[in-house]
């Protein structure tokens, strides 16, 4: 199979940007700080599996769901781009996106935080799902394209696992200021991705 290396890198970077793990790491640490090491690892593993399963489900089933309810591809491209742009705008201002947020008190009251709120919606939220569905529709019927996207999703999940496993030392090293700067940079990248999706959708609607 012929893989597009540039597209692979673009997809990986886009997914990591929209997942915004640096925004979720402080919440993860606060929800798991009093857990034993073994339980914390179980929470982390379930969180990563939740993200992986959700993204793979929407890669292969997302467009069927939208077709079933009568949403055209260009319309979804525009709407999806606007969702990503909204998240990017929040990141540029270093403020939590309402699409990802869940009040800390509500989260702390849950027995299993690995699936909700950490896995969904903080990581595998509307923005991430939108990005996966949009990338999946670009592959069409290409087996190689879908295999590559699945590989990118798997690589993204593994990267998340490493980052959250090293969450304590990582966050201590970069600090709150470093996290805010990184978030703003990632916001710029995500806004560019969002504009690309919007332009493609508008172009398809206008028949340009």
Which of 100-109, 130-139, 189-198 is the least confident region?
A: 100-109
Q: Is the pLDDT of residue 189 over 70?
A: yes
Most confident by average pLDDT, 23-37, 60-74, 151-165: 151-165
Average pLDDT over residues 91-109: 56
Per the listing, tokens 């702390």 go with: 108
pLDDT exceeds 80 at position 43: yes
Supply the pLDDT for residue 11: 93
Query: Tens digit of pLDDT for each residue in 78-96?
Result: 887 888 788 788 878 766 5
Contacting residues for 199 by C-beta, under 8 A, at least 6 apart: 81
pLDDT tens-digit series, residues 46-85:
999 999 999 999 999 987 887 788 877 788 778 878 887 8
Mean pLDDT in residue range 23-31? 83
Is residue 103 over pLDDT 70? no
Model pLDDT, residue 94: 65
Do 80 and 155 contact (CB within 8 A), yes or no?
Answer: no
For residue 2, the model assigns a pLDDT of 56
What average pLDDT does the chain have? 83
Model pLDDT, residue 42: 93
Q: How far is CA 63 from CA 12, 60, 200, in A?
A: 20, 8, 17
Q: What are phi and psi of 196, to 5 degrees?
A: -65, -45
The answer to whether 99 and 23 are in contact (CB under 8 A) is: no
pLDDT of residue 67: 78
Separation of alpha carbons 105 and 100, rounded Å: 15
Rounded CA-CA distance 167/41 in Å is 12
Compute the distance between CA of residue 59 and CA of residue 131 in angstroms, rounded to an integer. 9
The model's confidence at residue 12, banded by pLDDT at 50, 70 and 90, is very high
Q: Give the pTM.
A: 0.77
pLDDT in tens, 108-149: 444 478 998 789 878 988 788 889 998 998 887 789 899 999
Q: Which of 109, 114, 107, 9 is nearest to 54 (CA)?
A: 114
* Helices 126-139 and 37-68, packing angle to 10 deg: 50
- The secondary structure of residue 125, as a DSSP letter, is S
């Amino acid at each position: 199979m012929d893989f597009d290396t540039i597209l692979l890198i673009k997809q990986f970077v886009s997914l990591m940007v929209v997942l915004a793990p640096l925004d979720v790491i402080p919440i993860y640490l606060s929800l798991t700080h009093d857990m034993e090491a073994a339980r914390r690892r179980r929470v982390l593993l379930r969180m990563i599996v939740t993200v992986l399963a959700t993204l793979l489900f929407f890669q292969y089933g997302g467009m069927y769901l939208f077709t079933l309810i009568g949403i055209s591809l260009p319309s979804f491209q525009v709407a999806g781009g606007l969702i990503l742009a909204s998240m990017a705008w929040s990141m540029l201002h270093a403020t939590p996106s309402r699409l990802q947020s869940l009040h800390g008190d509500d989260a702390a009251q849950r027995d299993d935080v690995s699936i909700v709120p950490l896995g969904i919606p903080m990581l595998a939220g509307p923005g991430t799902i939108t990005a996966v569905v949009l990338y999946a529709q670009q592959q069409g019927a290409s087996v190689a394209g879908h295999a590559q996207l699945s590989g990118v999703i798997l690589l993204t999940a593994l990267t998340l696992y490493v980052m959250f496993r090293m969450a304590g030392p990582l966050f201590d090293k970069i600090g709150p200021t470093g996290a805010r700067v990184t978030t703003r940079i990632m916001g710029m990248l995500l806004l560019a991705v969002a504009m690309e999706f919007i332009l493609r959708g508008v172009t398809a609607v206008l028949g340009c």
